[in-house]
């Protein structure tokens, strides 16, 4: 059971191909719009909205809409519950993006000009009740122009609201229609989430442990973790402890229970780091990552922090795992109970898993926050196309500063072969895993026929589940990879759309 995947979603960029009107599916475009693309040039915007006074996006009927009633023009306003957060601190982008928090706590990353439009619409929201909407739009455009240093018209404000902000769930449309409810669907993200503790309970629990991050406490605790690890791994025999644990079903169940407790404590660490940093953690719960059960804590609010605060939140889970190791070591010193050493080994394996940068574990978020780029996976395609197919650099890569661009490129070129190797290595073990599972099931049935105890049956059943899950995970990863390859092939064969949606 993993204790990762604690961020509900990296800040999503303003989609480069956001639809003009229909509600989007759960997945939103991840590509960030270039600052220069956020607003169309005056001539272009006027051409996109010719003869309407406020643009066709403002609800004016076009040729295809002849005979339909024309929707009244209104001043777009921030959607209910939307909060303008501000600059994404220590980002890896050439032009620092701005963050907007949606009602469902998801964050949207906007270019500065789009953020200024949203801010001006919010500041002038009182004008939405006036009859002269065109004058109100001109006042909004004037306010944006003064801050942006570039002239904007009311037509362009409507265009940006309808084509960029509203599809992302930030503002209403210019005809008064509420924006769609947007849900992030990140690649290799956590699914089937079930919130167990509400935000208020998470805040309370986080407050109980936030003091562990104070420097005068942090340093001695880290020294205790290092000392406990060194003593256990250098003076104790893990092979003997494993033999004792395997022979006793109760020991197996105890080790699994301690592993679950360690994962839960891991998540409390993330929440406590958020509270210590001054931001509010969200709900805590469980879900499914690929096919494995996983705990999670919503710490999306950590994006309000600077780089140091985000890294503290990322590393907090492993820090709390270390505290758990110290507690297990002290318990072993008091009792001499060998399975506790196996539990220490189990927690160390959890720590190593969390530090892997291949999937959305803590190691991935550490690398992401270190360079200030929220979603590294979306750069895999552009970088592979540039490196393997010698294509021109994607716009998303040009948005990054030089150092983050080099770092992300190195990450992709290392991580993709590693993931392929891992999948190939696991695939070669599939026949052996199938045989092992089958023999275990046969043994379980034989033990049940001989009247095995309930604890022994439960322990054997859990072992079977743990053996079967990797097979299901491998099958799911292969299915998604194949589905993605088929979709890419179909898009390549079909070519570009004959009538693409005009972009801002």
Same domain, 16 and 73: yes
In a domain? residue 452: no
Same domain, 150 and 21: yes
Percent of the chain scoring above 90 in pLDDT: 22
Q: Which domain holds residue 92?
A: 12-168
Q: Inform me whether the pLDDT recorded for 169 exceeds 60.
A: yes
pLDDT confidence of residue 467? 66
pLDDT confidence of residue 48? 33
- CA 144/CA 494 separation, integer angstroms: 40
In a domain? residue 467: no
Q: What angle do CA 270, 104, 404 make, to 5 degrees?
A: 60
In a domain? residue 176: no
In a domain? residue 309: yes
Q: Which candidate, 37, 18, 36, places its Cα nearest to that of 28?
A: 18
Beta bridge partners of 286: 194, 295
Q: In what order do the strands lie in the sheet with 292-297?
A: 191-197, 284-289, 292-297
In a domain? residue 195: yes
Q: Inform me whether the pLDDT recorded for 410 exceeds 80.
A: yes
Mean pLDDT, the chain, whole residue set = 77
Same domain, 248 and 311: yes
- What residues contact residue 403 under an 8 Å CB cut-off, 6+ apart? 92, 371
Cβ neighbourhood burial of 223 (10 Å; 0-12, 13-18, 19+) = exposed
99 three-state secondary structure? strand
Write down the residue that tokens 């609010």 correspond to. Answer: 301
Same domain, 129 and 208: no
Q: pLDDT category, 128, cuts 50, 70, 90?
A: confident
Same domain, 239 and 139: no
Mean pLDDT of 203-210: 95
In a domain? residue 431: no
Same domain, 205 and 276: yes
Q: pLDDT category, 2, cuts 50, 70, 90?
A: low
Least confidently predicted of 14-23, 157-166, 456-465: 14-23
Going from the C-alpha of 169 to that of each of 108, 182, 407, 460, the distances in angstroms are 9, 6, 31, 49
Number of CB atoms found within 10 A of residue 202's CB = 28
pLDDT confidence of residue 241? 76
Mean pLDDT of 149-178: 88
Q: What is the pLDDT of residues 54-88, one digit of tens each?
A: 334 444 444 444 444 556 788 888 888 888 988 88
Least confidently predicted of 81-85, 133-137, 337-341, 445-449: 445-449
Q: pLDDT category, 251, cuts 50, 70, 90?
A: confident
Mean pLDDT of 295-307: 90
Convert 460-482 to b/e letters by CB count within 10 Å (16 or more is b). beebbeeebebbeebeebeeeee
Question: Which of 359, 376, 397 is the last residue in one of the domains?
Answer: 359
Least confidently predicted of 12-16, 35-39, 367-371: 35-39
Same domain, 211 and 102: no
In a domain? residue 418: no
pLDDT confidence of residue 25? 27
Q: Which candidate, 342, 371, 377, 345, places its Cα nearest to that of 359?
A: 377
Same domain, 220 and 303: yes
Same domain, 72 and 193: no
- Tell me the angle at which helices 454-494 and 402-428 cross, rounded to the nearest 10 degrees: 120
Mean pLDDT of 200-207: 94
- CA 467/CA 436 separation, integer angstroms: 8
Question: Which of 300, 330, 359 is the last residue in one of the domains?
Answer: 359
Task: Assess contact for 253 and 338: CB atoms under 8 A.
Answer: no
pLDDT confidence of residue 352? 92
Same domain, 247 and 146: no
pLDDT confidence of residue 228? 93
Same domain, 144 and 217: no
Q: Inform me whether the pLDDT recorded for 203 exceeds 80.
A: yes
Least confidently predicted of 211-220, 309-318, 337-346, 487-496: 487-496
DSSP secondary structure, 106-165, as one string? -EEEE-HHHHHHHHHHHHTGGGGGSS-HHHHHHHHHHHHHHHHTS---HHHHHHHIIIII
Write down the residue that tokens 């006793």 correspond to. Answer: 248
Convert 334-373 to b/e letters by CB count within 10 Å (16 or more is b). eeebbbbbbbbbbbbebbeebebbebbbbbbbbbbbbbbb
Q: What is the pLDDT of residues 454-503, one digit of tens each?
A: 666 676 677 667 667 666 766 776 777 677 778 777 776 775 544 444 33
Domain total in the chain: 2
Question: Which of 168, 197, 216 is the last residue in one of the domains?
Answer: 168
Q: pLDDT category, 53, cuts 50, 70, 90?
A: very low
In a domain? residue 181: no
- CA 400/CA 409 separation, integer angstroms: 11
pLDDT confidence of residue 38? 37
Same domain, 278 and 307: yes
Q: What are phi and psi of 324, to 5 degrees?
A: -65, -40
pLDDT confidence of residue 451? 63
pLDDT confidence of residue 487? 76
Task: Assess contact for 3 and 317: CB atoms under 8 A.
Answer: yes
Q: What is the pLDDT of residues 260-277, one digit of tens each?
A: 999 999 999 999 999 999
pLDDT confidence of residue 49? 34
Question: What six digits make up the tokens of 420?
Answer: 């392929």
Higher-pLDDT residue of 199 and 425 is 199
């Amino acid at each position: 059971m993993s204790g990762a995947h604690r961020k509900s979603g990296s800040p999503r960029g303003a989609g480069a191909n956001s639809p003009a009107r229909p509600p989007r599916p759960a997945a939103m475009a991840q590509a960030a719009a270039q600052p220069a693309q956020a607003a169309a040039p005056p001539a272009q915007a006027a051409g996109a909205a010719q003869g309407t006074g406020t643009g066709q996006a403002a609800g004016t009927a076009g040729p295809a809409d002849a005979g339909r009633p024309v929707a009244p023009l209104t001043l777009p306003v921030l959607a209910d519950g939307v909060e303008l957060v501000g600059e994404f601190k220590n980002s890896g982008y050439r032009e620092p993006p701005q963050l907007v928090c949606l009602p469902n706590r998801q964050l949207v990353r906007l270019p500065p000009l789009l953020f200024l439009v949203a801010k001006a619409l919010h500041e002038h929201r009182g004008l939405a009740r006036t009859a002269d909407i065109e004058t109100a739009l001109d006042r909004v455009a004037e306010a944006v122009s003064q801050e942006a240093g570039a002239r904007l018209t009311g037509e362009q404000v409507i265009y940006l609201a309808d084509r960029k902000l509203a599809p992302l769930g930030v503002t209403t449309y210019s005809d008064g229609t509420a924006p769609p409810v947007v849900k992030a669907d990140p690649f290799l993200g956590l699914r089937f989430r079930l919130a167990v503790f509400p935000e208020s309970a998470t805040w309370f629990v986080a407050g109980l442990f936030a003091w562990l991050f104070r420097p005068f406490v942090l340093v001695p605790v880290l020294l205790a973790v290092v000392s406990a690890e060194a003593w256990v791994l250098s003076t104790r025999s893990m092979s003997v402890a494993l033999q004792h644990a395997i022979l006793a079903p109760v020991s197996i169940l105890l080790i699994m229970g301690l592993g679950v407790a360690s994962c839960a404590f891991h998540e409390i660490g993330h929440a406590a780091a958020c509270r210590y940093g001054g931001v509010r953690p969200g709900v805590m719960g469980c879900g499914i990552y690929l096919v494995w059960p996983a705990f999670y804590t919503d710490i999306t609010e950590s994006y309000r922090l600077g780089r140091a605060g985000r890294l503290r939140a990322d590393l907090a889970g492993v820090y709390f795992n270390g505290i758990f190791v110290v507690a297990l070591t002290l318990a072993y010193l008091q009792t001499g109970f060998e399975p506790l050493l196996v539990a220490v080994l189990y927690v160390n394996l959890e720590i190593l898993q969390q530090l892997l940068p291949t999937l959305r574990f803590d190691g991935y978020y550490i690398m992401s926050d270190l360079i200030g780029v929220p979603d590294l996976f979306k750069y895999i395609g552009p970088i592979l196309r540039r490196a393997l197919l010698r294509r021109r650099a994607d716009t998303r890569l040009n948005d990054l500063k030089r150092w983050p661009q080099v770092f992300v490129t190195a990450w992709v070129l290392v991580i993709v072969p590693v993931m392929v190797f891992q999948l190939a290595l696991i695939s070669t073990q599939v026949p052996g895993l199938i045989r092992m599972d089958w023999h275990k099931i046969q043994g379980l049935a034989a033990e049940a026929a001989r009247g095995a105890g309930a604890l022994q049956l439960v322990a054997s059943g859990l072992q079977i589940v743990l053996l079967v899950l990797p097979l299901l995970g491998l099958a799911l990863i292969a299915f998604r990879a194949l589905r993605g390859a088929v979709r890419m092939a179909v898009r390549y064969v079909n070519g570009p759309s004959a009538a693409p949606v005009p972009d801002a």
